[in-house]
């Protein structure tokens, strides 16, 4: 392990005062999110709190309400954690973040692959508790000097629900893009795919936004091998990076697209760990790495960032629909100098009517990093 946690005190979860608490909260969204059966106007988030009478730590599970991302849902993650947490920690007074995966696996062999986001949330909470107990900032684990501010990317709002008229969709996305650029964001992420008017959208966006604003399209695996030429043509129109163009494990299509050299390629659903992401890079399936701490865990992401420095590839921190608990943690991770591209850490008020924590705020597309005077990893909820 590259990251050295030996100086941090373990957390005594398993003693009489120890606890693992799960908190579910319904948070209102600023913009409704389109779903196959209509719209979501709120999300029911899952927060994990661990600790004892002396200290506590916070984690957030990134699993969405439905199974459309990788199949893991927040409800299933909550049920799994409620079931496994007492037996994971009972009688094991000193617990560290590096023990969490082996403790969980000892009880439920393949839990880390069935519930990666639930396990990552538990590990995050234990790591946060250790850092707070040791009065240590997460950035201190990097072994290199962190950046003072992290570059935030903006995710453009969803299309109007059920809009089939191309001009309605394009007008809405362009309006969101211009608002984000006016707010100082230098990277915009939009959903792309068959039926989403992608070619017209990219052409229109490139016509109205400055050349130095990076455009990233997330396809969520919607394209197939016959679309390699089409996706490459989006690169020629000015889409700089495509995220997960083809289905997970469609190695041949990803390699074919990378070989065109027309567009940068990053994987999301297609990698199950930070280690996988580095392998995909070496295997020419991608040109850049998206590190998703909600799926991989923060410690694995730091390890991957240390290794990335040797590869010279671009990297950014990928987000889910994070509350301030994980959003602040992602800001801290995005302060690593090997994060070279804008991360999914846009301001809280782009997503939530009220966040659970002090909101993440961006100025000119930058988010100030909490820094070494603020021990811990996660944002702390006002109340749960
Ligand atoms: Mg994605």
Which residue matches tokens 């567009």?
Answer: 263
Same domain, 272 and 347: yes
Q: Is 198 among the domain residues? A: yes
pLDDT (0 to 100) of residue 308: 83
pLDDT at 15: 72
What's the pLDDT band for 300 if we cut at 50, 70, 90?
Answer: very high
Q: Distance between CA 339 and CA 293 in Å, rounded?
A: 13
User: If pLDDT is split at 50, 70 and 90, which confidence band does 164 have?
Assistant: low
Give the DSSP H or E segment for 265.
strand 264-267
Looking at the fold, whether 229 and 330 belong to one and the same domain comes out as yes
Same domain, yes or no, for 212 and 114?
A: no
**What is the Å distance from ligand 1's center to 301 Cα?**
16
Asked whether 44 and 25 are in contact (CB, 8 A), the reply is: yes
- Domain final position from 101, 119, 135: 135
In this structure, the answer to whether residues 58 and 147 fall within a common structural domain is: no
* Cα 119 from Cα 123, distance rounded (Å): 6
Percent of the residues in the chain that have a pLDDT greater than 70, as a whole number = 95
Centroid of ligand 1 to alpha carbon of 187 (angstroms):
15
2 belongs to a structural domain: no
pLDDT band of 162, cuts 50, 70, 90: low
Q: Is residue 382 a part of any domain in this protein?
A: no
| 303/162 same-domain check | yes
**CB-CB neighbours of 28 under 10 Å:** 10
375 membership: H or E segment, kind and range: none
Show which of 87, 115, 135 is a domain's final residue.
135
C-alpha triplet 173, 160, 67: angle, nearest 5° = 105
Residue 3 lies in a domain: no
pLDDT band at residue 184 under the 50/70/90 scheme: very high
Indicate whether 258 and 292 sit together in one domain: yes
- Picking from 101, 135, 169, the residue at the C-terminal end of a domain is 135
pTM for the structure as a whole: 0.93
Largest CA distance in the chain: 63
Q: Is residue 209 part of a domain?
A: yes
Round to whole Å and give the CA distance between 112 and 265.
27
pLDDT at 38: 60
Q: Is the pLDDT of residue 43 over 70?
A: yes
Structure-token pair, residue 30: 């600023």
Burial class (CB in 10 A: 0-12, 13-18, 19+), 37: exposed
Distance CA 213, CA 206 (A): 9
In a domain, 263, yes or no: yes
Domain of 263: which CATH number? 3.20.20.120
Centre of ligand 1 from the C-alpha of residue 219, in Å: 7
The dihedral through the CA atoms of 295, 299, 305, 311 has a sign that is negative
Following CA atoms 381, 303, 332, 281 in sequence, which dihedral angle do they give, to the nearest 10 degrees?
-110
Element (H, E) at 62: none
**Rounded CA Rg of the chain:** 20
Give tens-digit pLDDT for 13-28.
877 778 899 999 999 9
Same domain, 204 and 310: yes
- CA 218 centroid distance within chain: 13
Q: Which tens digits make up the pLDDT trace of 115-161?
A: 999 999 999 999 999 999 999 999 999 989 999 999 999 988 656 55
Whether residues 341 and 197 share a domain: the answer is yes
Token pair 């990219």 in the structure block, residue: 202
User: What phi and psi, each to the nearest 5 degrees, are found at residue 88?
Assistant: -65, -35
Domain CATH for 103: 3.30.390.10
Active-site residue flag, 307? no
Q: How far is the CA of 159 from the centre of ligand 1 (A)?
A: 16
Catalytic residue among 54, 147, 189, 191: 191
Asked whether the beta carbons of 64 and 74 are under 8 A apart, the reply is yes
pLDDT of 275 above 90: no
Residues 40 and 170 in one domain: no
Of 239, 159, 162, 163, nearest to 199 (Cα)? 239
Extract the tokens encoding 80.
Answer: 């799994």
For residue 319, report the distance from its CA to the centre of ligand 1, in Å: 8
Q: How many helices (H) and strands (E) does the chain have?
A: 12, 14
Helix (H) or strand (E) holding 179: helix 166-182
- 257: Cα separation from own chain's centroid: 24
Average pLDDT, the chain: 91
Report if residue 40 sits inside a domain.
Answer: yes
pLDDT at residue 34 greater than cutoff 90 = no
358: nearest Cα among 384, 308, 324: 324
- Give the domain extent around 120: 11-135
Pairing outcome for strands 56-61 and 38-51:
antiparallel
pLDDT at 312: 78
Catalytic residue among 147, 189, 292, 307: 292
Q: Assess whether 212 and 256 both reside in one domain.
A: yes
The answer to whether residues 174 and 289 belong to one domain is yes
- Residues 42, 190, single domain; the answer is no
pLDDT tens for 345-364 read: 999 999 999 999 999 999 99
pLDDT in tens, 46-87: 999 998 888 899 999 999 988 888 899 999 999 999 998 877
CA angle 298, 303, 308 (to 5 degrees): 120
Q: Looking at residue 349, what is its pLDDT?
A: 94
CA of 365 to the centre of ligand 1 (A): 20
Q: How many domains does the chain fold into? A: 2
Identify whether 208 is part of a domain.
Answer: yes
């Amino acid at each position: 392990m590259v990251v050295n946690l030996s100086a941090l005190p373990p957390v005594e979860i398993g003693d009489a005062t120890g606890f693992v608490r799960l908190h579910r909260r319904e948070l209102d969204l600023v913009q409704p999110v389109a779903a196959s059966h209509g719209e979501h106007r709120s999300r029911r988030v899952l927060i994990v709190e661990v600790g004892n009478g002396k200290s506590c730590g916070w984690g957030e599970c990134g699993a969405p309400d439905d199974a459309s991302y990788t199949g893991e849902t927040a409800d299933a993650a909550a049920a799994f954690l409620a079931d496994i947490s007492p037996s994971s920690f009972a009688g094991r007074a000193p617990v560290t973040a590096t023990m969490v995966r082996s403790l969980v696996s000892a009880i439920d062999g393949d839990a880390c692959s069935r519930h990666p986001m639930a396990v990552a949330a538990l590990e995050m909470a234990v790591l946060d508790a250790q850092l707070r107990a040791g009065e240590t900032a997460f950035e201190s684990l990097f072994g290199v000097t962190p950046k003072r501010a992290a570059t935030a990317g903006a995710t453009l709002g969803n299309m109007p629900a059920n809009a089939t008229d191309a001009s309605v969709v394009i007008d809405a996305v362009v309006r969101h893009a211009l608002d984000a650029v006016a707010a100082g964001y230098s990277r915009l992420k939009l959903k792309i795919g068959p039926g989403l008017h992608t070619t017209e959208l990219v052409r229109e966006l490139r016509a109205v936004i400055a050349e130095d604003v990076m455009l990233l399209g997330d396809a969520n695996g919607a394209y197939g091998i016959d679309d390699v030429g089409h996706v490459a043509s989006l690169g020629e129109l000015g889409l700089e990076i495509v995220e997960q163009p083809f289905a997970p494990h469609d190695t041949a299509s990803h390699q074919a697209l990378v070989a065109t050299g027309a567009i940068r390629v990053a994987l999301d659903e297609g990698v199950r760990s930070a280690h996988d992401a580095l392998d995909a890079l070496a295997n020419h399936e991608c040109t850049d790495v998206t590190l998703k701490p909600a799926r991989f865990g923060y410690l694995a992401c730091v390890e991957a960032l240390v290794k990335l420095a040797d590869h010279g590839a671009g990297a950014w921190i990928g987000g889910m629909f994070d509350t301030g608990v994980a959003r602040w943690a992602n800001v801290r991770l995005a302060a690593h100098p090997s994060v070279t591209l804008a991360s999914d850490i846009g301001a809280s008020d782009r997503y939530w009517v009220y966040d659970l924590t002090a909101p993440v705020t961006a100025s000119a597309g930058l988010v100030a990093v909490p820094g070494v005077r603020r021990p811990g990893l996660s944002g702390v909820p006002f109340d749960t």
